[in-house]
Structure 1
């Protein structure tokens, strides 16, 4: 019955600023704006593939997390540069001070994180080939390759 996740919604403190961030900085496409609610819907990928809803919330903003599905090679080759060129700070959970992608070995998946202006934790992720190896924890991509 369930084939995937079609849309998710997050809270933002300023709808116009959030629309600008997600369209101009990340390249999503505005699908619909309803200023009476106030909410904006953005297309992720091709029109009608996936959707992100932005709800303006002036008080008690509750930051969330979600991940954008990306090509493995794009994450490896361009993600840190892509984010830095947009004045965003890429980070991982390796505690190594580097801004390189990491591998969640239990999935396995390659990922790198960054935050939007409202503190929502965003992620670029690509599922890796290979078996789940939860015992490895969170490791660098080089470590993943050495263990596979």
Structure 2
């Protein structure tokens, strides 16, 4: 019955600024802006695959986390440069000062994080081939590949 998550919503402090960030910086497409309430909907991906809702919340803003699907190659070769060129600060899950994408061995998946202007934690993620190895925790892609060679 369930085939995926079609949409998610986040709170933003300024709807105009958030629309600008998600469309101009990240490249999403404005789908609809509701003029009767402070909300906008954005298309994520090609062909109306997914939707992101932005809700303006002036007080008690509650930040959230969500991930954008990406390819392994894009994360490894372009994500950090893409984010830095947009004046965004990439960071890894460990928040150890490194901007190197990390592997969650239990999935396995490769990921890099960044924040939107309101502090919502965003992520580029790609599921990797191979078996789950939860005992490895979170590690660099190079360490993951070394572990894969030792199987």
- TM more than 0.5: yes
TM-score range, shorter chain: over 0.9
Q: Judge conservation of contact 1:92–1:101 (CA < 8 Å) in 2.
A: yes
Unaligned runs of 5+ in 1: none
TM superposition shift of 1:23 = 0.1
SS at match of 1:92: coil
Unmatched segments (≥5 aa) in structure 2: none
Aligned 8 A contact 1:94 1:139 in 2: no
TM-score, L = length of structure 2: 0.96
Q: Distance in 1 between matches of 2:91 and 2:60?
A: 26
Q: Deviations over 1:66-121 (max 9, x none)?
A: 00000110000000000000000000034553211000000000000000000000
| Secondary structure, counterpart of 1:147 in structure 2 | helix
1:25-70 CA-to-partner distances (Å, cap 9, x unmatched) read: 0000000001321100000011311000000000000000000000
| Structure-1-length-normalised TM-score | 0.97
Matching residue of 1:25: 25
- Give the aligned length: 148
Matches within 5 A, 1:121-136: 121-136=121-136
1:111: which partner in 2?
111
- How far apart in 2 are the matches of 1:117 and 1:96? 21
- 1:70 corresponds in structure 2 to 70
Name the structure 2 match of 1:53: 53
Partners of 2:57 and 2:34 lie apart in 1 by 14
